[in-house]
Amino acid sequence: MISGLSILLRLGFAGTVKMRVDHGGYTKSDDLLRGYRGAVYLGIGLAGLGLAISLVFAIKQAWNNTEKEEKIGKLAAAR
């Protein structure tokens, strides 16, 4: 359900960008290509944002795991 909603939102954003860039399709065919490019650039930007967010969470998870391992090692050495 969440995946479908996110796809619908992204398609809506891309459609809005396309319509704004090519002036609603009422201009020459060259503007039509500009609209498609705008939608593609939006997709690339959203993919980059998703990659950056996932990298931040992966690094945070790795950082937390190393801290936990250090604490466990200190506790085991103290016994």
The domain locations on the chain are 2-78
pLDDT tens digit at each of 79 positions of the chain: 777 888 888 888 888 888 888 777 677 777 778 888 888 898 899 899 999 999 999 999 988 888 777 777 766 776 6
Q: How many CA atoms lie within 13 A of 66 on its CB side?
A: 5
One-letter amino acid at 25 equals G
The owner of tokens 């090692």 is: 73
pLDDT at 57 (0 to 100): 95
pLDDT at 7 (0 to 100): 84
* Whole-angstrom distance, CA of residue 17 vs CA of residue 24: 10
pLDDT at 53 (0 to 100): 95
Nearest by Cα to 18 from 37, 31, 35, 33:
35
